[in-house]
């Protein structure tokens, strides 16, 4: 997983890492849940909402269409209600609630979270590169597993208690069998999926999380705060990658005053990064001469990251 503030290079690093691993012969899926994701731009291929799309041998990319996922999510809810309660159709008042809930941010986030669980649990790739949304939202997504787990625990316990009462009542009534509890089974199914996906995301043997930062005071401060918050959710932090480092050889060249000042500022904050993050810095990637789009530039960036 690559995380950090918006606009620092998470998506390009995700694409370059996926490219590097695919070139090593690994089957890789790079995916994003960010509604403003730019994997389509980076790979120069419209992949939005199209599911895993082959970019080159071994490399697949996916951008999740949140709106479509919400519609599918609504349809799944309707089907489950009909199946569980043996209805012919959804009552109007429940349909109104389902429609209204679609406008809530929580519905979109819940649907996207469910899609991520699907991707992680489904399998089929050697590596999954998760291009996270910017920091605040990323924390929200990562915290959803623990929030859902706690909520489902409470609901499941309550449902199990009701089930016990039903069983006692069935004995008193001398009923031979008690119907299967579809709601309890559904809750247990959701809980199993969440536990499996959060288990993968927090397993240091299976998952690595990298922070992307640039040599600027505000970015360093935000990254430090975010690292502390991520640690609370047991996200396995593997290191930091510094992006957009200006070439130091510029100092010996005739350059504008603006650029000289940028170099002085950069030197100052590179020292701060060195002191603060020490041996956790994995790579220092230079400012590229142009946008990283197309496989040629992605390969160039991958060379800077991994060699």
- Give the SS3 label for residue 56: strand
What are the start-end ranges of the E strands in the chain? 2-3, 28-32, 53-56, 59-63, 127-131, 209-213, 237-245, 281-286
The string of pLDDT tens digits covering residues 189-235 is: 777 777 777 777 778 888 888 999 999 999 999 999 888 887 777 77
Average pLDDT score over residue span 76-88: 77
The string of pLDDT tens digits covering residues 28-70 is: 999 987 777 689 999 999 999 899 999 999 999 999 887 887 7
What is the C-alpha to C-alpha distance for residues 202 and 194, in angstroms, rounded to an integer?
Answer: 12
The string of pLDDT tens digits covering residues 151-201 is: 667 767 776 776 676 666 666 666 655 555 666 677 677 777 777 777 777
What is the C-alpha to C-alpha distance for residues 161 and 164, in angstroms, rounded to an integer?
Answer: 5
85 compared with 16, residue with greater pLDDT: 16
Checking if the pLDDT of 103 tops 90, the result is: no
Average pLDDT score over residue span 95-120: 73
- Give the SS3 label for residue 136: helix
């Amino acid at each position: 997983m690559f995380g950090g503030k918006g606009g620092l290079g998470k998506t390009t690093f995700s694409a370059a890492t996926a490219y590097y691993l695919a070139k090593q012969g690994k089957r890789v899926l790079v995916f994003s849940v960010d509604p403003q994701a730019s994997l389509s731009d980076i790979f120069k291929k419209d992949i939005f909402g199209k599911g895993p799309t082959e970019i080159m041998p071994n490399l697949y990319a996916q951008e999740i269409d949140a709106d479509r996922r919400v519609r599918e999510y609504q349809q799944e809810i309707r089907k489950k209600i009909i199946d569980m309660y043996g209805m012919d159709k959804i009552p109007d008042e429940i349909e109104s609630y389902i429609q209204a809930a679609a406008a809530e941010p929580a519905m979109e986030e819940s649907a996207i979270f469910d899609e991520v669980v699907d991707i992680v649990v489904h399998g089929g790739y050697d590596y999954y590169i998760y291009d996270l949304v910017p920091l605040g939202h990323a924390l929200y997504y990562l915290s959803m597993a623990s929030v859902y787990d706690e909520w489902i625990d409470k609901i499941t316990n309550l449902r199990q208690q009701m089930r016990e009462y039903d069983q006692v009542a069935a004995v008193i009534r001398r009923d031979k069998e008690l119907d299967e509890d579809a709601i309890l089974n559904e809750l247990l199914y959701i809980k199993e999926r969440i536990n499996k996906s959060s288990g993968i995301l927090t397993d240091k043997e299976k998952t690595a999380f990298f922070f992307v930062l640039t040599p600027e005071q505000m970015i360093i401060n935000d990254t430090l705060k975010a690292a502390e918050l991520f640690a609370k959710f047991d996200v396995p932090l593997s290191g930091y990658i510094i992006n957009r480092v200006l070439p130091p050889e510029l100092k010996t060249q005739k350059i504008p005053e603006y650029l000289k000042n940028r170099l002085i500022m950069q030197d100052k904050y590179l020292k701060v990064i060195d002191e603060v993050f020490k041996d956790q810095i994995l790579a220092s990637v230079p400012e590229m001469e142009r946008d990283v789009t197309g496989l040629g530039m992605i390969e160039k960036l991958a060379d800077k990251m991994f060699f």
